[in-house]
Structure 1
């Protein structure tokens, strides 16, 4: 670079996207400071799947193998009926070997720990929220929740679904409720589970996912059509889940029973309609702040990882900061927004309640050949590289 000192990038949010960006920026020789509203990065949360397209992005910054070691690589993936019979299957091992990339199921905290080690704890300031910013055309100054200010060359809002940076940059458009709520949990592995199988079971307005994440643990999630804002009665979450899913195939009832009530997280599922822009001047957005999506394609965190790697590569160039952010938006906006739309549509179909709708849905998915699904995965990875 032509400047005497590396660019200093300010990042709001130490989630998966913000920390991946910090790793990528440091690898590129840039300076970074991440502001995280939580007082500590605790061992909380549930699991996620690092799809092969995200593994391809992580490989570009030297983290693919380390992330794979933090989780588990499944051998098979399936969408099932509540009886346990398959609607569709994907031969994961064969595709991983063909592409030379892992699909990694991992506890969010383990992934976060890997990213933090490479981002550098000294570059992450906890207990601070970016509350406002000012872009004077030469630098960006952020105002923090403790009243202090920090100046840098660019600001990246990676502060999630309810991003403060997004609100100031694009306005506070309301969230879009999907029509269904979710429960998530992590529990010890149970003997009734099929080793190496990642599955999602589709019923009447409800689904249940099973994701082995290694280290003797399984992540599971469930959805049900429900009014927004509804809550479970205290101490009755497991009982409600057993009434909804206890009659479905193994190991669903066993997983619910093996999970501590206090560790089950309930969250309504929201996204936002795709935005037509993410950037202005020296400020841009990343991950859920830019393109929050429903989790139906497992691409929320994966697209944040892709965002981070592309943005770091462009900021490491010699051109002006605003041009780098504009190029980032041009490269990433269409791809990420397509996942917002496709994930929303898939969720609507997966949550169908009517008998006729479920019959059509199941019949269509049973007709999809494995070869077609495998081609989709290959195309997904190719477009990420």
Structure 2
């Protein structure tokens, strides 16, 4: 595709920013539109696993991301008493694949990518509201009433993507059956800085992820009706559910500011076979929103961005480039959607007998099987 053409990106999340960086470094003219007036991400922390770091490496930002985050060495699945059910071979897989697992605050990750992109390509406080893909060109209407013309519109505008709604018209996301809370404990020394963990109980889970500066990102899930609202201080609700779980869960909740805790229902969408039509294509959560159970939502958006940029740079014709992008990305990303939803359903079981069997299966799974599963998930190649 001619690099003199202009590519418009809706959304400056992880996927949109990564795509902007990848396209600019390939020589394209890029404009990224973000509805937020300032990039102040909520949601606390995120892990960029080896596959995401390998993708970042292809566009030269992996070192900056690693420097802004925290390298993880060990990981585990536990029960609510803290007994280990399974071990994630984080350090060994990093060594084998040649890329670390980085835990990082979302704000720092977005700041790092925004710096790599450059302010001249990013417009804040304006969002894409609609598009017209006509024989005479692609026209994109913005929230300030203006209209811009480009050669390709990329919908990277998240779970409730405006671009997807017009492109696919497939309704609202689906509820997974459980809600989540996320926060960052600013008090250092409460959690082990070298290990991440997720503990499973009766219809509930609690995850602990050390990030930079001695801080700890944590998340909790619980089976609940959709649309639930906490009291003004979410810690009351959380302590009623998790106060008798193993250390340092109670301390993490108590030492996190109530205003910094975010409650979000867990949503995804059924996989679809195509993410593009004409001069419009989807990326990241706009294309394949997934539950967070495999920690791959952000990573798959990064993979999308790198592969899409590569296809656009290598293929002379836009339809060929988008077809190639879908061929390389749809099967892998959709597989994560299915597997992540399935894993979340198992992790949220309430039946005592079923949970006992589940825990025994995890405890008896050989390390070689865990390694093989992780290798498949964490290996990334941008394609031929």
Provide the TM-score with structure 1 as the length reference.
0.96
Q: Which residue of 2 aligns with 1:185?
A: 183
Equivalent residues of 2:177, 2:225 under 8 A apart: yes
Equivalent residues of 1:12, 1:18 under 8 A apart: yes
Q: Which residue of 2 aligns with 1:136?
A: 134
| Corresponding residue SS for 2:211 | strand
Q: Which residue of 2 aligns with 1:47?
A: 45
Which of 322, 331, 335 is the equivalent residue of 1:334? 331
| Corresponding residue SS for 2:331 | helix
The answer on 1:375 being equivalent to 2:379 is: no
Q: Which residue of 1 aligns with 2:309?
A: 312
Deviation of 1:286 (Å): 0.2
Q: Deviations over 1:205-253 (max 9, x none)?
A: 0000000011221100000000000111223x10111111111111111
> How far apart in 2 are the matches of 1:228 and 1:7?
44
- Runs of 5+ in structure 2 lacking a partner? none
Q: Which residue of 2 aligns with 1:151?
A: 149
Q: Which residue of 1 aligns with 2:158?
A: 160
Equivalent residues of 1:42, 1:109 under 8 A apart: yes
Equivalent residues of 1:283, 1:325 under 8 A apart: no
> How far apart in 2 are the matches of 1:113 and 1:138?
37
> How far apart in 1 are the matches of 2:203 and 2:142?
43
Equivalent residues of 2:79, 2:200 under 8 A apart: yes
Equivalent residues of 2:50, 2:379 under 8 A apart: no
Q: Deviations over 1:343-373 (max 9, x none)?
A: 0000000000010111111011111122221
- Runs of 5+ in structure 1 lacking a partner? none
The answer on 1:280 being equivalent to 2:277 is: yes
| Corresponding residue SS for 2:184 | strand
> How far apart in 2 are the matches of 1:50 and 1:163?
23
Q: Which residue of 1 aligns with 2:292?
A: 295
Q: Which residue of 2 aligns with 1:238?
A: 235
Equivalent residues of 1:11, 1:32 under 8 A apart: yes
Equivalent residues of 1:183, 1:267 under 8 A apart: yes
Matched positions, count: 382
Q: Which residue of 2 aligns with 1:357?
A: 354
* Structure 1 stretches of at least 4 aligned residues deviating more than 6 Å after TM superposition: none
Provide the TM-score with structure 2 as the length reference.
0.97
> How far apart in 2 are the matches of 1:82 and 1:105?
23
> How far apart in 2 are the matches of 1:300 and 1:43?
15
Moved more, 132-141 or 50-59: 132-141
Q: Deviations over 1:158-193 (max 9, x none)?
A: 000000000000003221100000000011244342
